């Protein structure tokens, strides 16, 4: 028999405390640590979780060899539970002092490139303007950070685009030119300012790992020009790639911005690819919502402002 809407809600007696306990158990992978976090007896948490599972008709946790795992049903519940708490937080933000940027927390996720060259000046300005807002920066592969963004564990991501997700808002921010980088002692390339795309397969390449979004940009470029690059090494971030190139273990293709200082000091040499403008686009990514917390909208504004200032400086 199909239940009327009111009857349906009465048929699932789930309260917010149960959801909070479920989130704590999942994040700690432990009933004991969840009880310590929430200052609640472990037996009370176990009882509440059991009641929740009975109400849902599905287990949300699986216990194997004293370890706690989240079931598929649990993953679904946790996704909606986190959204509920996010909506509650946003409701409080709208009617509290935090809307005036007097207190709060912002968590930003990004890869190493963005954390090194894009994020710091913006966060420095934000902190100077709003010292009572706590800022946290989390670095990880983009896919891992997208998961955190979907689970409301971070508020903003700074990622290499494209990012396609119906629940996320994507704002293109920066277009970065990528160049071939070599040692200044390279016997051939150090004497040139340009290189044919087909020539790249003749030299050992040091690139980002396959799971990196910037690597995806390069792989698409290799397919478009029809070459099979000889990749001899992978490094997680540009800080590891540059010293390897400097001692001539290989060449690389990385954003021009990331090597500007080394180029000025003559520690590295760069070449552009003939007849190709190789770029990567970086953007801001956050959850779609009717209400964007003021502190998040302020940080987004500062990112856009910084990019506009950078563009004007480059034109002058």
Residue 249's contacts (CB-CB under 8 Å, 6 or more residues apart) are 204, 206, 232, 233
**pLDDT at position 14 over 70:** no
Instruction: Count CA atoms closer than 13 A to 196's CA, side-chain side.
Output: 6
Cα distance between residue 249 and residue 72, in whole Å = 46
Q: Which CATH number belongs to the domain containing residue 57 in this structure?
A: 1.10.10.10
Are 240 and 211 a contacting pair, CB within 8 Å?
Answer: no
Same domain, 273 and 138: no
Same domain, 203 and 256: yes
Q: What is the mean pLDDT of the chain?
A: 88
Q: What angle do the packed helices 72-94 and 16-28 form, to 10 degrees?
A: 120
What would the mean pLDDT of 94-119 be, rounded to a whole number?
80
- Strand duo 279-287 + 168-182: pairing: antiparallel
**pLDDT tens digits along 138-197:** 998 899 999 999 888 999 999 999 998 888 999 999 999 999 999 999 999 999 999 999
Cα distance between residue 164 and residue 309, in whole Å = 28
DSSP designation for 162: P
Same domain, 63 and 91: no
Cα distance between residue 172 and residue 170, in whole Å = 6
**pLDDT tens digits along 241-273:** 999 999 999 999 999 999 999 999 999 999 999
Q: What is the pLDDT of residue 220?
A: 94
Q: Where would I find the H helices in 95-237?
A: 112-117, 119-129, 142-150, 213-225
**Element of type H or E holding 21:** helix 16-28
Q: Which CATH number belongs to the domain containing residue 303 in this structure?
A: 3.40.190.10
Number of neighbouring beta carbons within 10 Å of residue 105: 11
Q: What is the pLDDT of residue 88?
A: 84
Q: Is residue 165 part of a domain?
A: no
**pLDDT at position 110 over 90:** yes
Q: What is the pLDDT of residue 43?
A: 92
**pLDDT at position 101 over 80:** no
Please state the domain count of the chain.
3
Are 283 and 172 a contacting pair, CB within 8 Å?
Answer: yes
Residue 176's contacts (CB-CB under 8 Å, 6 or more residues apart) are 255, 256, 257, 279, 280, 281, 282
The residue among 180 and 97 whose pLDDT is bigger is 180
Same domain, 155 and 290: yes
DSSP designation for 195: E
Same domain, 38 and 130: no
Q: How confident is the model at residue 316 (pLDDT cuts 50, 70, 90)?
A: low
Q: What is the pLDDT of residue 112?
A: 85
**pLDDT at position 311 over 80:** no
* Domain assignment of residue 143, given as a range: 84-159+284-315
Q: What is the pLDDT of residue 152?
A: 86
Task: Select from 75, 96, 118 the last residue of a domain.
Answer: 75
Same domain, 183 and 276: yes
Q: What is the pLDDT of residue 169?
A: 95
Q: What angle do the packed helices 31-38 and 42-56 form, to 10 degrees?
A: 110
What would the mean pLDDT of 127-143 be, rounded to a whole number?
92
Q: How confident is the model at residue 4 (pLDDT cuts 50, 70, 90)?
A: very low
**Each residue of 35-57: b (16+ CB within 10 Å) or e?**
bebbebeeeebeebbeebbeeee
């Amino acid at each position: 028999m199909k239940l009327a809407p009111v009857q349906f809600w009465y048929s699932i007696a789930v309260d917010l405390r149960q959801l909070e306990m479920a989130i704590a158990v999942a994040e700690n992978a432990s009933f004991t640590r969840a009880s310590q976090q929430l200052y609640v007896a472990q037996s009370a948490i176990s009882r509440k979780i059991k009641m929740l599972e009975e109400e849902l008709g599905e287990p949300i946790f699986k216990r194997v060899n004293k370890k706690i795992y989240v079931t598929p049903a649990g993953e679904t519940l946790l996704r909606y539970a986190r959204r509920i708490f996010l909506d509650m937080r946003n409701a409080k933000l709208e009617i509290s002092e935090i809307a005036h940027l007097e207190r709060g927390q912002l968590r930003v996720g990004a890869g190493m490139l963005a954390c090194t060259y894009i994020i710091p000046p913006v966060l420095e300005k934000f902190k100077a303007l709003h010292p009572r807002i706590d800022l946290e920066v989390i670095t990880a592969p983009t896919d891992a950070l997208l998961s955190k963004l979907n689970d409301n564990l971070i508020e903003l991501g700074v990622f290499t685009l494209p990012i396609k997700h119906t629940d996320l808002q994507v704002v293109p921010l920066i277009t970065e030119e990528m160049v071939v980088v070599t040692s200044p002692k390279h016997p051939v390339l150090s004497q040139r300012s340009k290189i044919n795309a087909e020539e790249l397969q003749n030299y050992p390449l040091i690139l980002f790992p396959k799971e990196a979004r910037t690597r995806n940009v390069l792989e698409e470029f290799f397919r478009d020009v029809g070459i099979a690059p000889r990749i001899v090494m992978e490094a997680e971030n540009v800080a590891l790639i540059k010293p390897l190139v400097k001692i001539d273990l290989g060449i690389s293709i990385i954003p021009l911005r990331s090597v500007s200082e080394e180029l000025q000091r003559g520690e590295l040499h760069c070449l552009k690819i003939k007849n190709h403008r190789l770029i990567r686009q970086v953007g801001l990514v956050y959850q779609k919502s009717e209400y964007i917390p003021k502190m998040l909208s302020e940080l987004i504004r500062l990112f856009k402002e910084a990019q506009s200032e950078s563009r004007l400086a480059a034109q002058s």
